[in-house]
């Protein structure tokens, strides 16, 4: 039973880390793209919206065998560009640059999550 609580705590920490890291990298991307009015709090808000949207799409499309998770990622990123564009009130090129920084943050958090969960399960085995 304790492994469940360890796993749940790890997932909560990873979720918070994903939101903060995504917001930080979106803020960096927005500053590099010279987005007017880009603040860290606005970037964190966009990161929350983008991550919730992508997670929901990946969850619902995961039931389609083989193509579902890939389609969820692609469709999620297309919608993410629309969200970023509307939140920051910028053009397509700047929105894509901010999205690239968000994807970079998601890759980092995924690698950290794999390492953290592997270490947690190895320590409890």
User: Per-residue confidence of the chain (125 residues) as pLDDT tens digits?
Assistant: 676 777 788 778 888 888 888 889 999 999 999 998 889 999 999 988 988 888 888 888 888 888 887 888 888 889 999 999 999 999 999 999 999 998 888 888 888 878 877 777 777 66
In angstroms, the CA 43 to CA 109 distance is 17
- CA distances in angstroms from 51 to 9, 43, 56, 60, listed in the order given: 19, 12, 8, 14
Print burial letters for 26-61: b (CB count within 10 Å at least 16), e (below 16): bbbbbeebebeebeeebbbebbebbbebbeebbeeb
Give the number of residues written for the chain.
125
- Nearest CA to 102 out of 86, 119, 89, 83 is that of 83
- What pTM was estimated for this model as a whole? 0.79
């Amino acid at each position: 039973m304790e492994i469940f609580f360890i796993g749940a705590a790890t997932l909560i920490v990873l979720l918070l880390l994903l939101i903060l890291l995504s917001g930080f990298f979106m803020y960096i991307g927005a500053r590099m793209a010279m987005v007017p009015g880009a603040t860290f709090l606005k970037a964190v808000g966009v990161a929350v919206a983008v991550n919730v949207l992508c997670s929901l799409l990946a969850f619902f499309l995961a039931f389609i065998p083989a193509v579902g998770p890939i389609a969820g990622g692609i469709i999620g990123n297309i919608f993410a560009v629309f969200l970023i564009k509307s939140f920051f009130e910028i053009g397509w090129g700047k929105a894509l640059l901010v999205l690239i920084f968000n994807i970079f943050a998601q890759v980092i958090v995924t690698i950290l999550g794999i390492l953290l969960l592997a270490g947690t399960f190895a320590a409890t085995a």
